[in-house]
């Protein structure tokens, strides 16, 4: 992944009446990543997306997509986007194929027959594409929506709550699907209020609360997997007491016995191997060394609580 940004949002603001429903929001989405907009119902996610895709006016701020500014190059900027903002509307009595043909005819960009077939294959609808859309499952409709959104080869795919209504296996399929699209060079902006789902889906995320962006970080930081940072590690050994005695001299902080076979330590990446070596040399059997991962939910609560404490003062 390189660091050039495909979407640049600066000081985005939306006022309705006296109320700021989006308040000075700025973020970048980098080429090839899946970026999540995360926040509770009513936070402003859909409003942000609607402004990015030009469906509603901005009160303030700038949006640029693959270098095209929405103010000065509206059409070029929009050509760079494929989006599913509300549930995609299809003609149920027509086949998936006819729906896509209809859409292809309305597109501002020239779309070849070959591109159409390729897109159908990408969303894995080859087998069902001649069936009427009213016979499609929700997951199939969703994939047809994605096909429609990526038909004109946009550099940015925007999805507002794409997994609403999908069952767990449908969600998983959809996730794998998005990952595959990014491998083909598409960048994705996705919104959701479901933390666990976003944790599995996104590379980075922003937390939106009451119209404000309160945090951005990468999922690797969140789940404690960055190589440079200290992480909490659980060792499983045949005798935790004996093991802890052996490594006592090497450890300065945070060693804690969990039970007869497990203990945790906070340490950096490099030290994990060193500790393991000490244990093995002392004839301690090591069965497992595992990083204690924080969930996005843990992190979300930390972030939103500290934001609240900040505003109380
Ligand atoms: N046209 C409008 N007029 C007045 N208020 C609006 C309008 N559109 C949105 N809002 C308000 O702005 C806030 C943000 O709405 P938005 O739909 O962007 O939230 P969201 O984060 O997408 O929520 P959800 O998770 O429920 O989809 C809400 O309080 C909503 O009631
Ligand atoms: Mg919404």
**Mean pLDDT computed over 268-282:** 88
Instruction: Determine the Cα–Cα distance for residues 174 and 180; give it in Å rounded to an integer.
Output: 10
Which pLDDT value is given to residue 159? 93
b/e code 25-36 from CB counts within 10 Å (16+ = b): bebbbbbbbbbb
Unique residue bearing structure tokens 């609607």: 50
Decide if 72 contacts 21 (C-beta within 8 A): no
Mutate to test the pocket of ligand 1, among 13, 19, 36, 46 (most ligand atoms within 8 A of CB): 46
Query: Residue 292 pLDDT > 90, yes or no?
Result: no
pLDDT category at 248 given cuts 50, 70, 90 is confident
Atom index in ligand 1 nearest the CA of residue 50 equals 18
Ligand nearest to the CA of 211: 1
What's the pLDDT at 312? Answer: 42
The predicted model gives 149-154 an average pLDDT of: 90
Q: Which residues sit opposite 231 in a β-bridge?
A: 267
Q: How far is the CA of 152 from the centre of ligand 1 (A)?
A: 29
Whole-number Å distance between alpha carbons of 300 and 207: 8
d(CA 164, CA 142): 10
pLDDT value for 1: 41
Confidence (pLDDT) at 2: 46
Distance of alpha carbon 296 from alpha carbon 290, whole angstroms: 18
Tens of pLDDT along 160-203? 988 877 888 888 888 888 898 899 889 999 999 888 888 889 99
Please give the average per-residue pLDDT across 89-112, as a whole number.
Answer: 89
What ligand 1 atom has the least distance to the C-alpha of 14?
12
- State the burial class of residue 304 (Cβ atoms within 10 Å of its Cβ: 0-12, 13-18, 19+): middle
What's the Cα-to-Cα distance from 115 to each of 100, 110, 112, 122, 153, rounded to whole Å?
11, 10, 5, 10, 9
Q: What is the pLDDT of residue 228?
A: 55
The answer to whether residues 219 and 205 touch, using CB atoms and an 8 Å cutoff, is yes
Please return the burial class of 69, using the count of CB atoms within 10 Å of its CB with bins 0-12, 13-18 and 19+: middle
Q: How far is the CA of 62 from the centre of ligand 2 (A)?
A: 21
Q: Output the CA 45–ligand 1 centroid distance in Å.
A: 8
pLDDT digits 0-9 by tens, 35-90: 999 988 899 999 999 999 999 999 999 999 999 999 999 999 999 999 988 677 89
Could you say which DSSP state residue 284 is in?
-
Rounded distance from Cα 178 to ligand 1 centre (Å): 26
Question: Which residue pairs from 107-112 have beta carbons closer than 8 angstroms and sit at least 24 positions apart in sequence?
Answer: 107/151, 107/152, 108/75, 108/79, 108/152, 109/79, 109/152, 109/153, 111/151, 111/152
């Amino acid at each position: 992944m390189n660091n050039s940004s495909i979407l640049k949002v600066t000081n985005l603001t939306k006022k309705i009446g006296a109320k700021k429903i989006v308040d000075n929001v700025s973020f970048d989405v980098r080429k090839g990543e899946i970026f999540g907009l995360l926040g509770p119902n009513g936070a402003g996610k859909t409003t942000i997306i609607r402004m990015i895709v030009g469906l509603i006016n901005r009160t303030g701020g700038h949006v640029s997509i693959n270098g095209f500014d929405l103010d000065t190059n509206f059409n070029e900027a929009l050509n760079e986007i494929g989006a599913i903002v509300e549930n995609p509307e299809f003609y149920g009595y027509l086949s998936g194929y006819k729906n896509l043909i209809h859409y292809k005819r309305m597109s501002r960009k020239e779309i070849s027959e070959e591109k159409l077939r390729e897109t159908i294959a990408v969303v894995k609808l080859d087998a069902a594409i001649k069936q009427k859309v009213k016979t499609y499952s929700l997951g199939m409709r969703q994939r047809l929506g994605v096909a429609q959104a990526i038909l004109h080869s946009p550099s940015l795919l925007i999805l507002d709550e794409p997994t609403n209504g999908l069952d767990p296996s449908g969600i998983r399929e959809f996730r794998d699907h998005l990952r595959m699209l990014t491998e083909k060079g598409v960048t994705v902006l996705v919104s959701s209020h479901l933390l666990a789902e976003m944790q599995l889906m996104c590379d980075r995320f922003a937390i939106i609360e009451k119209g404000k962006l309160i945090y951005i970080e990468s999922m690797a930081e969140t789940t404690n997997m960055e190589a440079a940072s200290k992480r909490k590690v659980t060792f499983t050994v045949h005798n935790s007491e004996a093991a802890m005695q052996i490594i006592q001299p090497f450890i300065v902080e945070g060693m804690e016995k969990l039970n007869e076979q497990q203990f945790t330590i906070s340490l950096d990446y490099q030290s994990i191997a060193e500790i393991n070596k000490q244990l093995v040399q002392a004839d301690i059997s090591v069965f497992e060394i595992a990083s204690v991962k924080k969930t996005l939910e843990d992190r979300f609560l930390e972030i939103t609580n500290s934001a609240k404490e900040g505003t109380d003062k």
